Amino acid sequence: MTTVPTLLVRDVPPRVAFALEQSGVHPLLARLLAARGVRSPQDVDDGLGHLLPPDGLKGTAEAATLLSQAIDAGQRIVVVADYDCDGATACAVALRGLAMLGARPGTLGYVVPDRSVHGYGLTPAIVDLAAAQQPDLLVTVDNGIASLPGVAHARERGMRVLVTDHHLPALEGDEVVLPAADVIVNPNQPGDRFESKSLAGVGVMFYVLLALRAERRARGCFDAASQPRLDALLDLVALGTVADVVRLDANNRRLVAQGLKRIRAGRMQPGVAALFSVAARDPRRAAAFDFGFALGPRLNAAGRLSDMTLGIECLVTDDTARAAELARQLDAINRERREVEAGMREQAELLLARMLPAQDAVLPSALSLFDPDFHEGVVGIVAGRLKDRLHRPTFVFARGADGLLKGSGRSIPGFHLRDALDLVSKREPGVLRRFGGHAMAAGATLAADDFPVFDRALQQVASEWLDAAALERQLRTDGPLELQWFNLETVRAMDAQVWGQGFEPPLFCDRVQVLQQRLVGEKHMKLRVRHAGQPRDAIWFGRTEPVPEDVRLAYRVQVDEWNGQQRLQMVVEACEA
């Protein structure tokens, strides 16, 4: 079962598009950017000088003082990482950046939770694990804002705590509660006026380092001419930002664009270069797509099926041979992850078939799935795949090592998943042992016996919050692609831009005649179509059903290389008769 989307065309403010074009922006890009909220040529400028200043992010000055004092005293700083790509890159940025800014050899360390053993965040168990390194200061990256017991435990053990995070704080009733850390840096904490609320965890840590550099400069450790070049870390910042699927607002786009420029110029960490190599991607043509679909999954696979220490070590080593070996291990784990995920998707399809035996059965407003054979490490990926296909908020659960069900959810526009879980917890007290997350992604832990109660409660909230229009899948497109722009030069100009979450890549929509179609690889439909009077090659990945002869296609345009030859092909995402 797959929901068929309605194809819509984005509105383009004509005066804005004209102004962008007059400022030198490619005419097609001007139209695409204007449709995505860009309003002035300055919004297109990705120079570092246009980054939001770090002093606007609440807590950065206090964090800089805390870190600088620890560095000057030669105290031991231990970074508490997270087990996803954002957490791994944030940890690497912290370790590399602190060393660049004066932390002495032997004073830096890190710990990262095992997903199946420790759970998420700065738990008391992780504090005890970190204690073996005798830290004076714990620095969380990409976690900690909801770790009230863990922070309290660390303080009881005599450790100071700096929380750097980007997730939403915990709630008690309707009140926001914060951990009793020495300093908190999080654009989503109460009272923070930082304009970019979408910073990833790695972006927050990078901003802390910018503030720390200013503090070290004020203390006379170096001057502006000799200060460390923190832009050397932007390849890691860009990777973590895209892989965490945060909204690519103007500030995040600048961070990603600067990271990409450095990678294309060959300036990157050995581990990043090694990941490009095992993914068979050319760093000279690096794009945000590579972070989200090639490098990011290989790092995430370690946290899902193995130990994210592998990923962090790959990113922090300066030994190219060691980086290459670690990247090969990550690649092997990712292949295993794909096999596990494929098996789980098949199981999920069977579960759905049992839930909805009739071909025309109406999908519930939200879906919750659990099978004893599901693997905890890939529940989020499977939830995302089902959400994309069925356009329903979806939770997928697996049994954890402690016997509790660990679930990961993905949502659709109009349904704030973390707020929905909060309402479920109020209506069904005690059912949710733990929960947290964002509007579009969240996690929850519950007892197996409580799964039916959770399923009913989530469906009830969804039925109240989502009307028929919200449950209809819509695909926003950029309308027709004029014949004059169907060429390699234009596609390369589009590829040079930063696209991603909240700033979607160009998706065009045209009526075509299907001249030929055949199945390739048993699961992809290869098409020959007539578009604007010209024959074109097209492919629809994951499509096995025939396409109508006269059809409206939603498609992207990409460069296809074969035997050294480059040609354009349409990559189809949806159709409408």
Strands, sheet with 441-446, edge to edge from the N-terminal-most edge strand: 367-370, 394-399, 405-410, 441-446, 434-437
d(CA 138, CA 78): 5
Residues 25-35: b if buried by 16+ CB within 10 A, e if exposed: bbebbbbbbbb
Residue type, 285: R
CATH 2.40.50.460 is right for the domain spanning 6-45+474-576: yes
Topology (CATH) of 356-465: Diaminopimelate Epimerase; Chain A, domain 1 (3.10.310)
pLDDT at residue 122, as a whole number: 95
d(CA 511, CA 264): 36
Closest CA to 202 of 91, 51, 299, 78: 91
The structure's pTM equals 0.93
How much is the average pLDDT of 222-238?
97
Tell me the H-state helices in 52-200.
Answer: 60-72, 85-100, 124-131, 148-156
d(CA 170, CA 177): 6
Radius of gyration in angstroms for the set of CA atoms belonging to the chain, rounded to a whole number = 24
- Token code pair at residue 478: 């950029």
Contact 212, 67 (CB under 8 A): yes
Closest CA to 70 of 115, 104, 27, 121: 104
Pick the CATH number of 59-266 from 2.60.40.10, 3.40.50.300, 2.30.29.30, 3.90.1640.30: 3.90.1640.30
pLDDT at residue 439, as a whole number: 86
Residue type, 134: Q
pLDDT tens digits, 127-163: 999 999 999 999 999 999 999 999 999 999 999 999 9
Mean pLDDT is lowest, of 93-102, 119-128, 230-239, 502-511, for: 119-128
275 burial class (0-12, 13-18, 19+ CB within 10 angstroms)? buried
pLDDT tens digits, 427-449: 999 999 999 888 888 999 999 99
Residue type, 328: R
For the chain, domain boundaries: 6-45+474-576, 59-266, 356-465
pLDDT tens digits, 8-43: 999 999 999 999 999 999 999 999 999 999 999 888
Q: What is the pairing mode between strands 183-185 and 160-164?
A: parallel
Per the prediction, the chain carries an average pLDDT of 94
Closest CA to 446 of 484, 399, 478: 399
How much is the average pLDDT of 519-528?
93
Could you count the other beta carbons within 10 Å of the beta carbon of residue 554? Answer: 21
Q: What percent of the chain has pLDDT over 90?
A: 87
pLDDT at residue 357, as a whole number: 65
517 - beta bridge partners? 527
Which pLDDT band, with edges at 50, 70 and 90, does 340 fall under?
Answer: very high
Could you count the other beta carbons within 10 Å of the beta carbon of residue 237? Answer: 28
d(CA 509, CA 506): 10
d(CA 103, CA 237): 20
